[in-house]
């Protein structure tokens, strides 16, 4: 058996206290513990490959934690042996239907005498399958599966299961909320425990590719000094079945030859010198990183260089690079996220890429975000998925929560991803689904990672549920988000069934709850598009994501009277989205502009729905906090306190969102809430200087109730008393109090 140089390092941390969901603790059920100990006395591994060596090291680590006893090594023929390896490496690993497993699938078989386990076998056609099979076995044991019930046969639904890291050369992470880059470029070529644990975690959920650097790429990542630093990291990742990738700066020929005697001054894909430069550079990169899978490119988007700068198309640019990587059996993933103006950026990507269908080389994959805007809490599924029928495609999801609460809101995104994968692109009930399109030979799923160097890896303790669910959905696109949540909870916290159900209830409601108190009915962007994308700013996105007035709200994207976006889908979907009687309520304001008194299928008006969901959403977060509080004493004190504090902060920020959005719409429409009343207060102006008669403070007070109110405004400075101003404010009116 090969010995992995990374396996010993991975053994340094006790199995019971591993990172995130790789916690290997003895079961509380004494009968199950007895079964584990009887079934796993020994581990025998067959096959000469570092991935098998890592699989053996991991399962030994897991069994030591789960049973309290380190298993013996090697084949002896005794009962209670776990046998792992490739089917051609030992007669003990022969299985039926091995061809159906492919290069990454596996079979787990249990040989029993009655209920007594004689032998457990994890067999595969290739080392990667052995690794994935071992992690699946461990997952089953962590979730309380009895050894006699371990039989399983699995192969991944998707060929490419990729993480995209937006990690910068300076160690920062764009749209990262969990600290700095886990790759610690300055420390390379030394491999840290964190890097090895990253490889273990990602391999455990079936990830087989990782783009290490930001799509807004620095050309230095493919320069010789950086390649020398990256080489050991990439070699380590490969021993865990993870193909390393790099993001490219399209202007690299210009940047990296700037100090040459005869620098290249263009990145035109039709220029022979540019083509030769890329051919030589990719050969150099491949020599330094033999396991390299390919390159990810963001071009002509948000100021990035690209082929359009030279009058070429995206296909021209992608194909030039594809031909340079083809001799090395590499792939180019080319992002379709491009936009020029904000008139209606929903349709721009389709306008650019749809005419190019069929023009990309076979080793090019076009990577498209799940929706046509930018990872909003609710968007329609991107029409490009159903349009690019002659182009390899990858769907891009965002695990890091750029627009869905970042590290400040517990939002489990798997239910949203499930809807995206299940979307029938041909029309209601008419395939192929997005998942089926991504199952092609050169296609897959990419997720923008939420990992960082924070102790909890993801910025808040519940955020790792998204990391876990992404990998599991990429492996099995039919997986149920509820099942994945329960798996993750049991593996992470080791809770009993009732407590697991309580946490699962939080996770499964969290996405729609966040939608309730932020962006209603598919409206999308209600935070500043040029800022942090965290705080509410509905005024800042008027005309970009909504056209709210005193009469109504939404965005008319219909063919008949709007931007025509609804016509980018097949006719069956166009008919659904174009008609107010058939458009789904959750996408109403994405597709249509409607008056505030438009009635939804529930019977309530649009404005009342906005009020109701924002108030009820905040109350639901309070219920989340209460449910978590009920777990006191059943979750370790440190993580219990961290999650409790996070929910307290989430209640505060959810309240900020509620108040900002409700006040915005009341200010515009002056429509009263049927069930509630409130008072809105604003201090106009960018600055308020307190002190002196000339700096009196004007306070605007709005009465959002059905009757006149006497309202008093008072200023309480650190010293002195400015007094108060009392006003009679009619219903739905605004008055100004001047202090003092």
Instruction: Look at residue 129 in the predicted model and tell me its pLDDT.
Output: 98
Residue 693's pLDDT band, with cuts at 50, 70 and 90, is low
Alpha carbon separation from 720 to 272, 409, 691, 716 (Å, rounded)? 77, 40, 10, 8
Calculate the average pLDDT of the chain. 94
One domain, residues 369 and 234: yes
Task: Give Dmax over CA atoms of the chain in angstroms.
Answer: 94
**3-class secondary structure for 445-470?**
EEEECCCCCCCCCCCCHHHHHHHHHH
Residue 718's pLDDT band, with cuts at 50, 70 and 90, is confident
Residue 13's pLDDT band, with cuts at 50, 70 and 90, is very low
Residue 246: strand pairing partners: 295
281 in a structural domain: yes
Length of the chain: 740
Alpha carbon separation from 256 to 271, 277, 334, 560 (Å, rounded)? 16, 10, 21, 50
One domain, residues 459 and 573: no
d(CA 145, CA 36): 10
One domain, residues 537 and 627: yes
Low-confidence winner among 115-119, 224-228, 499-503 (lowest mean pLDDT): 115-119
Instruction: Look at residue 689 in the predicted model and tell me its pLDDT.
Output: 58
- Which phi and psi angles does 112 have, rounded to 5°? -125, 155
Q: What is the pLDDT of residues 436-491, one digit of tens each?
A: 999 999 999 999 999 999 999 999 999 999 999 999 999 999 999 999 999 999 99
> What is the rounded average pLDDT of the residues 694-700?
76
Instruction: Look at residue 241 in the predicted model and tell me its pLDDT.
Output: 98
Instruction: Look at residue 519 in the predicted model and tell me its pLDDT.
Output: 97
Detail the DSSP E strand segments found in 540-617.
552-554, 593-595
d(CA 472, CA 480): 10
Low-confidence winner among 92-96, 148-152, 583-587 (lowest mean pLDDT): 92-96
One domain, residues 376 and 323: yes
Three-class SS of residue 188?
Answer: coil
Q: What is the pLDDT of residues 301-327, one digit of tens each?
A: 999 999 999 999 999 999 999 999 999
Residue 376 has pLDDT above 70, yes or no: yes
Instruction: Look at residue 451 in the predicted model and tell me its pLDDT.
Output: 98
Parent domain of 716:
678-739
Q: What CA dihedral angle connects 123, 124, 129 and 131, to 10 degrees?
A: 30
One domain, residues 662 and 705: no
If we measure between CA atoms, which residue out of 7, 99, 97 comes closest to residue 45?
7
One domain, residues 468 and 322: yes
604 in a structural domain: yes
Helices 497-517 and 606-629, interaxial angle, to 10°? Answer: 150
Distance of CA 326 to the CA centre of its chain: 30
**3-state DSSP helix/strand/coil % of the chain, to nearest 5:** 40, 15, 45
Three-class SS of residue 492?
Answer: helix
One domain, residues 245 and 384: yes
d(CA 308, CA 310): 5
Q: What CA dihedral angle connects 126, 128, 131 and 133, to 10 degrees?
A: -70
One domain, residues 125 and 274: no
Residue at token pair 């865990």: 240
Detail the DSSP E strand segments found in 11-115.
42-46, 72-73, 81-86, 106-113
Three-class SS of residue 653?
Answer: helix
- Which phi and psi angles does 154 have, rounded to 5°? -145, 150
Q: Which two tokens stand for residue 273?
A: 């010198």
Instruction: Look at residue 17 in the predicted model and tell me its pLDDT.
Output: 77
501 in a structural domain: no
Residue 420 has pLDDT above 50, yes or no: yes
One domain, residues 288 and 320: yes
Q: Please, are residues 129 and 108 in contact by the beta-carbon 8 Å criterion? A: no
Distance of CA 544 to the CA centre of its chain: 24
Residue 146 has pLDDT above 50, yes or no: yes
Residue 492 has pLDDT above 50, yes or no: yes
Distant-in-sequence, close-in-space partners of 234: CB < 8 Å, separation ≥ 6: 212, 244, 289, 291, 292
Catalytic residues, by residue number, are 302, 374, 402
> What is the rounded average pLDDT of the residues 390-404?
98
Domain boundary among 454, 479, 504: 479
Distant-in-sequence, close-in-space partners of 509: CB < 8 Å, separation ≥ 6: 620, 624
Instruction: Look at residue 695 in the predicted model and tell me its pLDDT.
Output: 60
> What is the rounded average pLDDT of the residues 504-531?
95
Q: What is the CATH number of the domain that holds 297?
A: 3.20.20.80
29 in a structural domain: yes
One domain, residues 730 and 657: no
Q: What is the CATH number of the domain that holds 139?
A: 3.30.379.10
**Phi/psi zone of residue 171: left (φ > 0), alpha (ψ -120 to 50 degrees), beta?**
left
> What is the rounded average pLDDT of the residues 413-419?
98
Instruction: Look at residue 685 in the predicted model and tell me its pLDDT.
Output: 66
d(CA 258, CA 266): 11
Residue 295 has pLDDT above 70, yes or no: yes
497 in a structural domain: no
Q: Please give the residue that has the higher pLDDT: either 343 or 199.
A: 199
268 in a structural domain: yes
Q: Please, are residues 128 and 208 in contact by the beta-carbon 8 Å criterion? A: yes
Instruction: Look at residue 4 in the predicted model and tell me its pLDDT.
Output: 46
Residue at token pair 């109403």: 588
One domain, residues 149 and 177: no
Q: For strand 331-335 and strand 209-211, is the pairing parallel, antiparallel, or unpaired?
A: unpaired
Residue 730 has pLDDT above 80, yes or no: yes
Residue 126 has pLDDT above 90, yes or no: yes
Q: What is the pLDDT of residues 268-294, one digit of tens each?
A: 999 999 999 999 999 999 999 999 999
Q: What is the pTM of this model?
A: 0.96
> What is the rounded average pLDDT of the residues 619-642?
97
Residue 656 has pLDDT above 60, yes or no: yes
Q: Which two tokens stand for residue 182?
A: 């886990």
505 in a structural domain: no
Residue 5's pLDDT band, with cuts at 50, 70 and 90, is very low
Domain boundary among 636, 669, 702: 669
Total number of domains in the chain: 4
- Which phi and psi angles does 155 have, rounded to 5°? -145, 145
Residue 648 has pLDDT above 80, yes or no: yes
If we measure between CA atoms, which residue out of 310, 433, 340, 317 comes closest to residue 381?
433
Q: What is the pLDDT of residues 221-248, one digit of tens each?
A: 999 999 999 999 999 999 999 999 999 9
Residue 342 has pLDDT above 70, yes or no: no
Q: Please, are residues 41 and 71 in contact by the beta-carbon 8 Å criterion? A: yes
Residue 133 has pLDDT above 50, yes or no: yes
Residue at token pair 């999650």: 643
Q: Which two tokens stand for residue 126?
A: 């290739």
Q: Please, are residues 704 and 677 in contact by the beta-carbon 8 Å criterion? A: yes
Instruction: Look at residue 115 in the predicted model and tell me its pLDDT.
Output: 75
Instruction: Look at residue 6 in the predicted model and tell me its pLDDT.
Output: 43
Residue at token pair 């046969």: 153
Residue at token pair 């049991």: 490
If we measure between CA atoms, which residue out of 441, 422, 439 comes closest to residue 431?
422
E strand or H helix that includes residue 625: helix 606-629
Domain boundary among 669, 699, 720: 669
In this prediction, what percent of the chain has a pLDDT beyond 90?
89
> What is the rounded average pLDDT of the residues 360-385?
98
- Which phi and psi angles does 321 have, rounded to 5°? -70, -35
- Counting beta carbons within 10 angstroms of the beta carbon of residue 274, is it exposed (0 to 12), middle (13 to 18) or buried (19 or more)? buried
| Side-chain half-sphere CA neighbours of 576 within 13 A | 15
Q: What is the pLDDT of residues 176-203, one digit of tens each?
A: 999 999 999 999 999 999 999 999 999 9
Q: What is the pLDDT of residues 26-82, one digit of tens each?
A: 999 999 999 999 999 999 999 999 999 999 999 999 999 999 999 999 999 889 999
One domain, residues 401 and 524: no
In this prediction, what percent of the chain has a pLDDT beyond 70?
96
486 in a structural domain: no
């Amino acid at each position: 058996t090969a010995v992995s140089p990374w396996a010993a390092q991975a053994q340094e941390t006790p199995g019971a206290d591993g990172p995130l969901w790789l916690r290997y603790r003895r079961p509380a059920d004494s009968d199950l513990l007895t079964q584990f100990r009887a079934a796993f006395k020994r581990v025998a591994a067959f096959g000469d490959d570092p991935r098998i060596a890592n699989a053996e090291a991991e399962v030994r680590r897991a069994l030591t934690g789960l049973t309290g006893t380190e298993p013996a090594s090697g084949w002896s023929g005794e009962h209670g042996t776990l046998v792992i390896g490739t089917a051609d490496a030992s007669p003990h690993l022969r299985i039926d239907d091995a061809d159906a497993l492919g290069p990454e699938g596996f079979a787990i078989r249990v040989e029993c005498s009655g209920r007594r386990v004689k032998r457990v076998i994890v067999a595969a056609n290739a080392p990667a399958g052995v690794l994935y099979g071992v992690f699946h076995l461990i997952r089953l044991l962590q979730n309380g599966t009895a050894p006699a019930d371990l039989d399983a046969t699995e192969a991944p639904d998707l060929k490419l299961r990729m993480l995209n890291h937006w990690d910068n050369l300076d160690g920062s992470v764009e749209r990262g909320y969990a600290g700095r880059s886990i790759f610690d470029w300055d420390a390379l070529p030394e491999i840290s425990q964190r890097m090895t644990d990253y490889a273990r975690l990602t391999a455990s959920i079936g990830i087989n590719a990782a783009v290490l650097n930001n799509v807004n790429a620095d050309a230095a990542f493919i320069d010789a000094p950086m390649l020398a630093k990256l080489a050991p990291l990439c070699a380590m990742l490969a021993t865990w079945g993870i193909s390393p990738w790099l993001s490219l700066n399209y202007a690299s020929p210009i940047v990296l030859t700037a100090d040459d005697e005869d620098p290249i001054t263009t990145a035109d894909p039709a220029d022979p010198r540019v083509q030769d430069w890329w051919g030589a550079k990719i050969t150099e990169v491949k020599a330094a990183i033999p396991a390299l899978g390919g390159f990810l490119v963001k071009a002509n988007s948000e100021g990035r260089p690209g082929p359009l700068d030279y009058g070429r198309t995206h296909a021209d640019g992608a194909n030039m690079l594809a031909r340079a990587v083809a001799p090395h059996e590499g792939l180019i993933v080319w992002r379709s996220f491009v936009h020029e103006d904000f008139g209606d950026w929903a349709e721009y990507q389709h306008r650019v890429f749809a005419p190019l269908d069929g023009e990309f080389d076979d080793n090019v994959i076009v990577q498209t975000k799940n929706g046509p805007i930018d990872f909003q809490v609710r968007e329609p599924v991107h029409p490009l998925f159903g349009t690019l029928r002659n182009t390899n495609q990858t769907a891009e999801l965002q695990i890091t929560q750029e627009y869905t609460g970042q590290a400040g809101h517990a939002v489990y995104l798997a239910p949203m991803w499930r809807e995206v994968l299940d979307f029938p692109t041909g029309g209601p009930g008419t395939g192929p689904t997005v998942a089926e399109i991504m199952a092609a030979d050169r296609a897959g799923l990419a997720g923008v990672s939420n990992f960082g160097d924070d102790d909890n890896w993801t910025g808040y303790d519940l955020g790792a549920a998204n990391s876990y669910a992404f990998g599991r959905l990429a492996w099995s696109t039919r997986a149920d988000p509820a099942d994945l949540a329960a798996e993750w909870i049991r593996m992470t916290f080791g809770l009993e069934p009732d407590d697991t159900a309580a946490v699962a209830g939080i996770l499964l409601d969290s996405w729609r709850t966040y939608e309730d108190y932020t962006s209603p009915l598919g409206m999308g962007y209600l935070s500043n598009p040029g800022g942090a994308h965290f705080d509410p700013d509905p005024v800042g996105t008027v005309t970009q994501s909504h056209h709210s007035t005193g009469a109504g709200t939404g965005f008319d994207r219909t063919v008949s009277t709007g931007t025509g976006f609804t016509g980018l889908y097949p006719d069956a979907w166009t008919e659904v989205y174009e008609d107010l009687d058939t458009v789904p309520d959750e996408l109403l304001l994405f597709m249509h502009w409607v008056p505030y008194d438009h009635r939804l299928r529930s019977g309530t008006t649009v404005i009342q729905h906005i009020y109701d969901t924002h108030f009820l959403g905040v109350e639901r977060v309070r219920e989340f906090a209460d449910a978590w509080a009920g777990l006191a004493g059943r979750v370790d004190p440190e993580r219990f306190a961290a999650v409790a504090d996070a929910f307290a902060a989430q209640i505060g920020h959810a309240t900020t969102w509620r108040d900002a959005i409700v006040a915005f719409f009341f200010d515009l429409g002056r429509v009263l809430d049927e069930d509630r009343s409130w008072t809105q207060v604003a201090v106009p102006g960018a600055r308020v200087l307190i002190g002196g008669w000339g700096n009196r403070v004007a306070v605007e007070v709005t009465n959002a109730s059905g009757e006149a109110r006497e309202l008093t405004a008072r200023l309480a400075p650190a010293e002195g008393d400015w007094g108060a101003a009392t006003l009679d404010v009619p219903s739905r009116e605004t008055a100004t109090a001047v202090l003092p």
